[in-house]
Structure 1
Amino acid sequence: MLRDFSVQALFMGLLTAFVGFASSFAVVLHGLAGVGATEAQAASGLMALSVSMGVCAIVLSLRTRLPVSIAWSTPGAALLASGGTVEGGFPAAVGGFLVCAALIVLAGLWKPLGRMVAAIPATLANAMLAGVLIGLCFAPVKAIAFDPLLGLPIVVAWAVVGSLNRLYAVPAALAAFVAVLAFGIDIPDGAFAGLAERLLPQPEAVAPVFNIAGLVGIALPLFIVTMASQNIPGIAVLKVNDYRPNPGPLFAVTGLFSLLSAPFGGHAVNLAAITAAMCAGSDAHPDPARRYWAAVNAGMFYVIFGLAAGAVTAFVSLAPPILIQAVAGLALVSAFAGSALNAFREPENREAAAITFLVTASGVSFAGISGAFWGLVAGGLMTALARYAPRRRA
Structure 2
Amino acid sequence: MSSDHSPSSVHWGDLTHPIVAGLISVIVNYGGTFILVFQAAKVAGLSPELTASWVWSISIGVGVTGLILSWLTREPIITAWSTPAAAFLVTALATTPYAEAVGAYIVSAVAFVVLGLSGYFERVIRLIPPGVAAGLLAGILLHFGIQAFGGMSVDPVLAGLLIVTYVVLKRVMARYAVVGILVVGLVFLLIQQRVDMTGLELKLAAPVFTMPEFSLNAMLSVALPLFLITLTGQYMPGMLVLRNDGFKTSANPIVTVTGLGSLLMAPFGSHAFNIAAITAAIATGREAHEDPSKRWIAGIAAGVCYILVGVFGVTLATVFMAFPATFITTLAGLALLGTIGGSLASAMTDAKAREASLITFLAAASNIMMFGIGGAFWGLLIGMLCYAVLNGELPWQRARGKAIGISAVEPAIRKG
TM over 0.5: yes
Residues 69 and 279 of structure 1 are in contact (CA less than 8 Å); yes or no, is this contact kept in structure 2? no
Q: What SS is found at the alignment partner of 1:367?
A: coil
Greater shift after overlay, 216-225 or 137-146? 216-225
Matches within 5 A, 1:277-288: 280-281=293-294
Pair 205,14 (structure 1): closer, same or farther in 2 beyond 3 Å: farther
Determine which of 354, 369, 374 is the counterpart of 1:350. Answer: 354
Structure 2 residue corresponding to 1:328, chosen from 327, 332, 336: 332
Matched, 1:156 2:168: no
Q: Structure 2 counterpart of 1:320, which letter? A: P
| Residue 55 of structure 1, aligned match among 47, 64, 70 | 64
Work out whether residues 134 and 346 of structure 2, in 8 Å CA contact, stay in contact via their aligned partners in 1. Answer: yes
Write the mapping of 1:166-205 to structure 2, written as runs, cut at 5 A: 166=174, 168-184=176-192, 192=197, 194-197=199-202, 199-201=203-205
Deviation at 1:11, TM superposition (A): 7.7
The worse-fitting range, judged by mean Cα deviation, of 24-33 and 53-62 is: 53-62
Post-superposition Cα deviations, 1:180-229, rounded to whole Å, max 9, x if no partner, equal: 32233567xxx5454214x5347689998626654544432322112222
Matches within 5 A, 1:16-95: 16-33=18-35, 48=57, 51-56=60-65, 59=68, 67=74, 69-72=76-79, 80=84, 85-86=87-88, 89=91
Deviation by residue 1:75-119 (Cα, 9 ceiling, x = unmatched): x86xx4xx9944863759999987886666445422343112211
- Alignment pair present for 1:224 and 2:231: no
Going from structure 1 to structure 2, the CA distance change for 1:59 and 1:379 (only over 3 Å counts) comes to: closer
Aligned pair partner of 2:273 in 267, 271, 280: 267
Contact 1:185 1:319 in 2 (8 A): no
Name the amino acid aligned to 1:196.
Answer: E
The answer as to whether partners of 1:127 and 1:354 remain within 8 angstroms in 2 is yes
| Aligned position for 1:134 | 142
- Return the letter of the residue paired with 2:192: G
Are the equivalent residues in 2 in contact too, given 1:364–1:370 (CA < 8 A)?
yes
AA of the residue aligned to 1:313: A
CA-CA distance at 1:20 after TM superposition:
0.6
Q: Distance in 2 between matches of 1:385 and 1:318?
A: 48
> What percent of counterpart residues are identical?
25
Structure 2 alignment gaps of length 5 or more:
1-5, 43-47, 213-217, 394-416
Deviates more, 1:254-263 or 1:39-48: 39-48
Structural mapping, 1:276-315, within 5 Å? 280-281=293-294, 300=304, 303-304=307-308, 306-307=310-311, 310-315=314-319
Q: Report the residue type matching 1:19 in the other structure.
A: A
Structure-2 residue corresponding to 1:252:
256
Letter in 1 for 2:28: A
| AA partner of residue 317 (structure 1) | M
Q: Specify whether residues 310 and 220 from structure 1 end up closer, same or farther in structure 2 by C-alpha distance, changes over 3 A only.
A: same
* Contact 1:54-1:302 within 8 A present in 2 as well: yes
Instruction: Supply the distance in 2 between the matched residues of 1:226 and 1:98 (Cα, whole angstroms).
Output: 22
- 25 and 45 in structure 1: CA distance in 2 versus 1, 3 angstrom threshold: farther
Q: Which moved more, 1:220-229 or 1:9-18?
A: 9-18
Q: Distance in 2 between matches of 1:94 and 1:118?
A: 33
CA distance in 1, matches of 2:359, 2:163: 31
* Counterpart position of 2:397: none
User: Does the 8 Å CA contact 1:221/1:373 hold for their aligned counterparts?
Assistant: yes
Amino acid corresponding to residue 384 of structure 1 in structure 2: A
Asked if structure 1 preserves the Cα contact closer than 8 Å seen for 2:107 and 2:223, the reply is no
Aligned partner letter, 1:55: V
Instruction: Tell me which amino acid in the other structure corresponds to 1:128.
Output: L
1:142 is matched by which residue type in structure 2?
G
Deviation for aligned residue 1:19: 3.0
Larger Rg over CA atoms:
2
Structure 2 SS opposite 1:210 = helix
- What SS does the aligned partner of 2:78 have? strand
Structure 2 vs 1, CA of residues 316 and 305 (structure 1 numbering), >3 Å: closer, same or farther? closer
Which amino acid is 1:386 matched to?
A: L
C-alpha distance in structure 1 between counterparts of 2:177 and 2:320, whole Å: 19
Match 2:123 to one of 99, 102, 115: 115
Q: Which amino acid aligns with 1:51?
A: I
Judging changes above 3 Å, is the alpha-carbon distance between structure 1 residues 60 and 22 closer, same or farther for their aligned structure 2 residues? closer
Is 1:233–1:273's contact at 8 Å kept on the other side of the alignment? no
Contact 2:40 2:89 in 1 (8 A): no
What is the TM-score with the length of structure 1 in the denominator? 0.69
CA distance in 1, matches of 2:328, 2:18: 21
Structure 1: 5+ residue stretches without partners: 240-244, 285-291, 390-394
Q: Residue 380 of structure 2 corresponds to which residue in structure 1?
A: 376
Measured in 1, the distance between the counterparts of 2:52 and 2:362 equals 32
- What residue identity is the alignment partner of 2:231? A
Equivalences, count? 360
**Alignment RMSD (CA, Å):** 4.8
